[in-house]
Structure 1
Amino acid sequence: MVLRVGVLGCGAAGLSALRHLSARPAVFQCVGFEQSSKIGGTWRYTDKTGIDTNGLPVQTSMYKNLRTNIPKEVMAYPDFQFPEDWPSFMDHPQVLKYLENYADKHELHKYIKFNTKVDNVEPLSSDNRTGWKIDYSSVDCTDQSQSTDFDALIICTGHYSVPLMPKLDGLDDFKGLIIHSHDYRYPEIFDGKKVVCLGGAASGQDICLDICKNAEMVTLSHNKPLIQSPLPDNIKQQPGIEKVKANSVVYKDGAEEECDALLLCTGYRYSFPYLSENCGIEIIEERITPLYKHIVNAKFNTMSFIGMCKIICPFPQFDSQVKFVLSTLDGTQKLPTPEEMSAEIEEDYQNRLGEGLPHRYAHFMGPKQWDYNDSLAELAGFTPIPRAIQKLYNEVHRTRVLDLPNYKTKQYRITGEDTYEVVSA
């Protein structure tokens, strides 16, 4: 029996799913659903923000000058490397070109319904291994809905599209510019301004470096340990924001600072508006439940999610997660019972809380990603990600901590399963 599998979203995660599904036509028949007219997801840059030409929210959060913060040597799908003559730290047009080349090589476009919005997803029964009904429509003609049934669904719509807006006392009273990083495109909007950037994670750090050449002063406001790396003279650090006034902010240490703009690098929400309540998926303060291995819907194990983990080496992990899912669908591995999966989900969550991680870090990986990736490979019986990827990823993190403004000037090369080298600095 050939299983019909629907893939929702055709960015990097969805393309990986289609690549592995389409490679096994005797087992799987696949259809991809993509809201835009082309593949690439968040890697497809546009100057537009807010609403697109079809009246739908702009999905991408890409800004004009973005370069990757991990090198191409660790970022590639395992079976498809980036061109050797490209720099280790690429700009976003290069990453998009890579994804287009990947799709072309595996002839993936023929499986994708472009300009197609998924309106609703329903399980076909209450059985754990149920099928699924997808209602969908053209983005420019939403009143003419169609439906198709599938044996399984793989959700690949990402989590960089719906801004997580902070709840700040007085934010509505601020008279200057307020912009979330989702809508940030180019630094010229901050010419001569005093900017407070809220959020000290990777995107906040990178965007501060992007805008400091235009802004008069940039204050990076966050609750993390202070960045120890040298920073440009017009970037300084302050604690998180306690409240906002008309022309200033008050930090948690009581200090007050005048500013012209607030840049909110406060992350994104998980959002699956097309999933009906009957799908059994809940999002509670950025924790998706019940996801076994952060992938499989424990209530309906023919629904899976790719790319929900945060702070990861993305494309290799997407590839591993997809292989894991296919092993559950083709019978290579037998999933635990729903009760057993729920117990493991809760154990993982409680372990995180026990380590001092906040609730919203339910899908945070960071250093955890390597053991996690290895566990997927062991359960599904595929070759794990080479140890050299982990070693180089960790080295880049170390270098970033020491020299945030300049770490992207280095060039690397993988030299073996367990080794890499610095080509130039």
Structure 2
Amino acid sequence: MKTPQNDKLKYHTPPLPSKSQQKSEAKSRTHRLAMPSPSLRLAVVGAGAAGLVAARELRREGHSPVVFERAASVGGTWLYDAAPATSDPLAAGAAHSSLYASLRTNLPREVMGFLDFPFASSAAEAGGGGDTRRFPGHDEVLRYLEEFARRFDLYGLVRFGTEVVRVRRDGGGGGGRWAVTSRKIGEKGRREEEEEVYDAIVVCNGHYTEPRVAHIPGVEAWPGKQMHSHNYRVPEPFHDQVVIIIGASASAVDISRDLAGVAKEVHVADRSAPACTCKRQPGYDNMWLHSMIDHAQEDGCVVFQDGSSIKADVIMHCTGYLYDFPFLEDDSAITVDDNCVDPLYKHVFPPEVAPHLSFIGLPWKVIPFPLFELQSKWVAGVLSGRVKLPSREEMMEDVKAFHSKMEARGWPKRYAHNFSDCQFEYDDWLAEQCGHPPIEQWRKLMYAANSENKAARPESYRDEWDDDHLVAEAAEDFKKYL
């Protein structure tokens, strides 16, 4: 087992930039001040990782962002909620976060961090009590985001406990200004809602809150309990129960193993498994892999596509989430159909109202934080006039070409934001637009190495690996910022 401890890598507040970096930033500021575009007042929806880095990049470009955040702290989906309050375990309820107690990152920390603020190992001996593992728990990610917000003085930009209720165009036209209606969570009285006008809106509300649920014929008469992984926290309530998990992605893998330690049986229904699949999972006496569920019955049985059946207590939908923008009115120029947000130029700008409305963080199967950062740099540069967008017609043609390519590949619309085979091409395109260096080669290689290791060691990849040379290369690179 290899568990290298990079004692030099700490994410405590980094020192001030070097003189060369200060000169570079001063030169950049001078260039910005020379730009003809005035400073814009911008509304950022959400103070998770995407909202925080968006606020930083917008302010770096000379704009004045205001960040609206429903919760009482930064972090977004990384804010753990131990007891989500909901009467419907299949719905989002009052909980924003979808974290479960045992969650550890499925990417190494070196890969995960923002490009100029390494997510390096926090040393417990420094008094922070941090999680020094290379694949840390969710509380360490939150600590990292809190440090990011402190380091770049972002807390003062955030209105905590404030929900965006409605966003609409102010005065019509092809973009222009936007009216934002917000309200304080729990506030009562006449002044509960407030409307303000902004020059542009940057949507960073995440896409891990609104549960997506599988369709199961007959489930209405099935007597067991259904829930979505969004509302799963700890395994103890499932002691000695028979649980069926629908899904095969990260949450399904983690939760099935979490439950196997306490449940009587765990049965994983995988939509992509052949219909005849019914096999015990290696290393477990009480966990089986099946094909997808065919239907459920009144007697409590759940029947799989191969005809086999299990009498189950719980069906847990680890089936992902829906893009949801309840605050956007019909004039936002986008629709969500089969989980495809459309039309969007490069998954960020609706051509009709660009650049006055933008979306950060829609792509999935990516390294999120660096992608958020590059998208934010692009949006900030476009809003300042430093970076130019194509014409509306050219952007629409690009959107149409993208969907034609998807259709030619046989991909359903719901895969529109799946970047499993193009994330680094996209990242480097964004970097080029912004005049930023491309994603580091070690980061790309480490991501690939982790994917291979996860496939080879699904039970232990977080604690065993073979890419120490890349860890060392990352550590050397991080010295520029630590």
Q: TM-score range by the shorter chain?
A: over 0.9
Residues 279-330 of structure 1 deviation map (CA, whole Å, 9 limit, x = unaligned): 1121011000111111112111111101111111111111111011112111
Change (3 A) 1:292 1:253: same
Q: How far apart, in 1, do the equivalents of 2:281 and 2:108 lie?
A: 19
Q: CA deviation at 1:350?
A: 2.3
Q: How far apart, in 1, do the equivalents of 2:42 and 2:365 lie?
A: 28
Residues 347-396 of structure 1 deviation map (CA, whole Å, 9 limit, x = unaligned): 21221232232221111111211111111112222122112111111111
Q: What pairs with 1:88-107 in structure 2 (closer than 5 Å)?
A: 88-107=134-153
Matching residue of 2:95 = 58
Matching residue of 1:304 = 358
The one-letter code sitting in structure 2 at the alignment partner of 1:330 is S
1:8 paired residue among 32, 40, 45: 45
Structure 2 runs not aligned, ≥5 long: 1-37, 124-131, 478-482
The one-letter code sitting in structure 1 at the alignment partner of 2:138 is H
Matching residue of 2:17 = none
Matching residue of 1:242 = 294
The one-letter code sitting in structure 2 at the alignment partner of 1:127 is G
Residues 32-55 of structure 1 deviation map (CA, whole Å, 9 limit, x = unaligned): 000111111110111222449xx9
Q: What pairs with 1:218-237 in structure 2 (closer than 5 Å)?
A: 218-225=266-273, 230-237=282-289
Residues 250-304 of structure 1 deviation map (CA, whole Å, 9 limit, x = unaligned): 1122222222211110111111000011111210110001111111121111111
Larger deviation, residues 139-148 vs 38-47: 139-148
Q: What pairs with 1:397-412 in structure 2 (closer than 5 Å)?
A: 397-410=451-464
Q: Is the 8 A contact 1:386 1:418 kept in 2?
A: no
Residue 412 (structure 2) pairs with residue 358 (structure 1): yes
Could you say what the CA RMSD is over the residues aligned between the two structures, in angstroms? 2.2
Give the number of equivalent residue pairs: 416
Change (3 A) 1:21 1:417: same
Q: What pairs with 1:95-244 in structure 2 (closer than 5 Å)?
A: 95-141=141-187, 144-225=192-273, 230-244=282-296
Matching residue of 1:47 = 82
Q: How far apart, in 1, do the equivalents of 2:216 and 2:273 lie?
A: 21
Q: Is the 8 A contact 2:269 2:289 kept in 1?
A: yes
Aligned residue for 2:251, secondary structure, equals: helix
Q: How far apart, in 1, do the equivalents of 2:115 and 2:149 lie?
A: 15
Structure 1 runs not aligned, ≥5 long: 421-425
Matching residue of 1:36 = 71
Q: How far apart, in 2, do the equivalents of 1:250 and 1:281 lie?
A: 39
Q: Is the 8 A contact 1:229 1:404 kept in 2?
A: no
Q: CA deviation at 1:136?
A: 0.7
The one-letter code sitting in structure 2 at the alignment partner of 1:256 is S
Aligned residue for 2:245, secondary structure, equals: strand
Residues 52-89 of structure 1 deviation map (CA, whole Å, 9 limit, x = unaligned): 9xx97211111111001111010000111123352110
Q: How far apart, in 2, do the equivalents of 1:74 and 1:349 lie?
A: 30
Q: How far apart, in 2, do the equivalents of 1:188 and 1:34 lie?
A: 32
Matching residue of 1:423 = none
Q: Is the 8 A contact 1:34 1:115 kept in 2?
A: yes
Q: CA deviation at 1:229?
A: 8.7
Matching residue of 2:18 = none
Q: How far apart, in 1, do the equivalents of 2:280 and 2:265 lie?
A: 19
Residue 405 (structure 2) pairs with residue 370 (structure 1): no
Q: CA deviation at 1:179?
A: 1.2
Residue 57 (structure 2) pairs with residue 20 (structure 1): yes
Q: Is the 8 A contact 1:229 1:402 kept in 2?
A: no
Q: How far apart, in 2, do the equivalents of 1:336 and 1:254 lie?
A: 54
Q: Is the 8 A contact 1:180 1:263 kept in 2?
A: yes
Q: Is the 8 A contact 1:230 1:403 kept in 2?
A: no
TM-score, normalised with respect to structure 2? 0.82
Larger strand share, 1 or 2: 1
Q: CA deviation at 1:210?
A: 1.5
Q: How far apart, in 2, do the equivalents of 1:258 and 1:30 lie?
A: 54
Residues 127-173 of structure 1 deviation map (CA, whole Å, 9 limit, x = unaligned): 33412110111111265211111111110000101101122111122
1:267 paired residue among 310, 317, 320: 320
2:449 paired residue among 392, 395, 399: 395
Larger deviation, residues 296-305 vs 127-136: 127-136
Residue 133 (structure 2) pairs with residue 87 (structure 1): yes
Q: Is the 8 A contact 2:53 2:376 kept in 1?
A: yes
Q: CA deviation at 1:417?
A: 7.2
**Percent identity at matched positions?**
32
Q: Is the 8 A contact 2:169 2:175 kept in 1?
A: no
Q: CA deviation at 1:419?
A: 10
Q: Is the 8 A contact 1:386 1:417 kept in 2?
A: no
The one-letter code sitting in structure 1 at the alignment partner of 2:77 is T
Aligned residue for 1:288, secondary structure, equals: strand
Q: CA deviation at 1:245?
A: 1.6
Aligned residue for 1:262, secondary structure, equals: strand
Matching residue of 1:414 = 471
Q: How far apart, in 2, do the equivalents of 1:414 and 1:324 lie?
A: 29
TM-score, normalised with respect to structure 1? 0.93
Q: How far apart, in 1, do the equivalents of 2:431 and 2:321 lie?
A: 29
Change (3 A) 1:138 1:71: same
The one-letter code sitting in structure 2 at the alignment partner of 1:242 is D
Q: CA deviation at 1:225?
A: 4.8
Q: How far apart, in 2, do the equivalents of 1:296 and 1:14 lie?
A: 16
